[in-house]
Structure 1
Amino acid sequence: MEEFTTNWTHEELKGYILLYCAHADFNVSKEEKEYIKSKVGEEKYQKIRKEFEDDNDYQQIQKIHATIERLEYSKEEIDEAFQSIKKLFLADGKEMDVLEQNIYRGLKHLLQKQ
């Protein structure tokens, strides 16, 4: 069985989760990119984006889950992450579409089991 360990920092995990969410509708808007960069900086964004693009969907979710566990996220940190995710989904000025809602619910289900 493959290990999905990372050496990401909290900021890099945040960037990866936001990038994962931004891809929910298969279209990362300029506003979404700028929002992610505002949260993690240009350098971390570029690093995480490259890794993200090299991973498939299964690897992406496994890395998110494993890193949340490794960093021992508290309930408050998970709640803060979901606030950022919601802001990201609304960054393009539109309501959350069905794909975004599904990603949001799926991550909430996965991460709130911690």
Structure 2
Amino acid sequence: MKTIDWTRDELVAYILLFAANSDFKEDPKEKEMILALVDKNTFQEIYDEFHTDNDYRSIKKITISLEQHNYSEDDIDVLLEDIKVLFYIDDDFSINEQIMFRFLEKLLKNS
């Protein structure tokens, strides 16, 4: 896997789906938030792809795509803020979500 043919919106949708699934459930509010950031077709394509990938493959796709899109530090900060909003949207920032946030923060800032 050397390149990923995603748009920036597809990458954002994938990362947010990855984050949303950190507590092993998809909250409807989380899905609504992602749909507010990307169009329905993009969401559905990425949703279907995400659910066929394992964690290793997901992380690999995220890091490769981040490099391809040359995300700046400011872009990463905006993305991390979106992830925080996603985690707080159901009023429960669970321990799994906290761990995932720290993991994604390190992953995104070191890519």
Q: Same fold (TM over 0.5)?
A: yes
**Aligned structure 1 segments of 4 or more residues deviating by more than 6 angstroms:** none
Question: What do the CA deviations read for 1:14-54 (whole angstroms, capped 9, x no partner)?
Answer: 00000000000001111001001111121111000000011
Q: Which runs of 5+ in 2 are unaligned?
A: none
Q: Which runs of 5+ in 1 are unaligned?
A: none
TM-score by length of 2: 0.96
TM-score by length of 1: 0.93
Deviation at 1:4, TM superposition (A): 5.1
Deviation at 1:95, TM superposition (A): 3.1
- Alignment RMSD: 0.9
- Given residue 49 of structure 2, which amino acid in structure 1 is its aligned partner? E
Q: Which residue does 2:80 correspond to in 1?
A: 82
8 Å CA contact retained: 1:4, 1:63 = no
Q: Does 1:25 align with 2:17?
A: no
8 Å CA contact retained: 1:4, 1:62 = no
Q: Does 1:53 align with 2:51?
A: yes
d(CA) in 2 for partners of 1:12, 1:66 = 13
Number of positions where the alignment pairs a residue of Structure 1 with one of Structure 2:
111
d(CA) in 2 for partners of 1:50, 1:4 = 21
